[in-house]
Amino acid sequence: MANLKEIRTRISTVKSTQQITKAMKMVAAAKLRRAQDAIEGMRPYASMLKGIIDNLSRNMSSEDLTSEFMEDRSPEKVLIIAITSDRGLCGAFNNNIIKAAVALAEDKYADQLAKGNLTFLTIGKKASEGLARREYKTIFPQKRNAQGELERVEVFQNLNFANIKDTAEVVLEQFKSGEIDRVEIIYNEFINVITQAVRCKQFLPISADSIEDSSEIKEKNSDSVDYLFEPSEEEIMEELIPKSLKIQLYSSILDSNAAEHGARMAAMDQATENAEELVKELKLTYNKSRQAAITKEILEIVGGAEALNA
């Protein structure tokens, strides 16, 4: 059994750790509020934009409803956008994304992976570290500078639409030029404070079916809307579709950011509770050890007294 000094040191150490996890939980809660406001503010805009595209598509024939981003080519070169966080201490948040990304690559795109034609665009340091450690081909988010050269973008150091728009434009440009044939996104969707769900969806190419809204929004927009088009329907759709794709990527990153803070808050709350339980167990062990030491001392004193009287 550990001596009393060792147990007292462990109790002090666990209490210090508990204070840290409690503080981290409070910080995560504050950040979560801002991140939650951001994603909840973005969703109505994204939904309305998709509703406009849906209504426009209903007024266009299938022949007219075309876009360079709808070109369904054989997926020889694939890009998977994996969105994690820059920091850990958020439970299985990052590992779930890495596992899902690896499973997607090795199952759905095994041929492309074997040929070296599969690349991961890692948004978040944990995705970069985890996938690079497994020796997958990874690249960082990029944008074009004033000279037209590609440079790295630190997404979470300055999370705003401008940075995401620039990154999305590089991906769209690569798809148009044929450098990429298929783009998938994997991220954690923010459901509520304690629940996140891993989502995987095809980003490019988009299909005519994916332009149409969900059944709930279709019902809401069931009445046909008359438009006066200026310029033509085709030009408007060509403008709206890239904008919708950029919003889709930005919304996925905002979702992941809110989910990260929710996961970290839950993880730190659990760690704080575990520390409290451990302190209770250590105090019980300390009291038992102290009682045993006192009893031993009393027995030694009594034994010594009896020896003197003998």
Q: What is the pLDDT along the chain (310 residues), one digit of tens a residue?
A: 568 889 999 999 999 999 999 999 999 999 999 999 999 899 888 888 887 777 777 766 666 667 788 888 899 999 999 999 999 999 999 999 999 999 999 999 999 999 999 999 999 999 999 999 999 999 999 988 888 888 998 899 889 998 899 999 999 999 999 999 999 999 999 998 889 999 999 999 887 665 554 444 445 444 555 666 677 777 778 888 899 999 999 999 999 999 999 999 999 999 999 999 999 999 999 999 888 888 888 888 888 888 887 6
99 shares its domain with 198: yes
How far is the C-alpha of 203 from the C-alpha of 224, rounded, in Å?
28
Q: Could you tell me if residue 309 is inside a domain?
A: no
41 closest CA partner among 196, 257, 219: 257
In b/e form, how buried is each residue of 145-162, taking b as 16+ CB within 10 angstroms? eeeeeeeebebbeeeeee
Which runs of consecutive H residues, i.e. helices, occur in the chain? 4-58, 93-107, 110-114, 125-133, 161-177, 208-211, 215-220, 233-309
CA distances, 99 to each of 30, 39, 147, 302 (Å): 29, 25, 38, 65
How far is the C-alpha of 171 from the C-alpha of 177, rounded, in Å?
10
89 shares its domain with 228: yes
187 shares its domain with 290: no
Which residues are known catalytic residues?
A: 90
83 shares its domain with 202: yes
What pTM did the predictor assign? Answer: 0.85
Specify the number of domains making up the chain.
Answer: 2
Q: Could you tell me if residue 307 is inside a domain?
A: no
pLDDT of residue 215: 44
How far is the C-alpha of 197 from the C-alpha of 178, rounded, in Å?
32
DSSP strand pairing (78-83 vs 182-192): parallel
16 shares its domain with 79: no
Three-class secondary structure of residue 157 per DSSP: helix
pLDDT of residue 305: 80
162 shares its domain with 130: yes
Which CATH number fits the domain that encloses residue 291?
1.10.287.80
Q: Could you tell me if residue 308 is inside a domain?
A: no
Domain, as residue range, for 203: 27-267
How far is the C-alpha of 156 from the C-alpha of 163, rounded, in Å?
10
pLDDT of residue 37: 93
Where do we find the tokens 């939980």? 25
pLDDT of residue 216: 46
109 closest CA partner among 142, 73, 76: 76
87 shares its domain with 110: yes
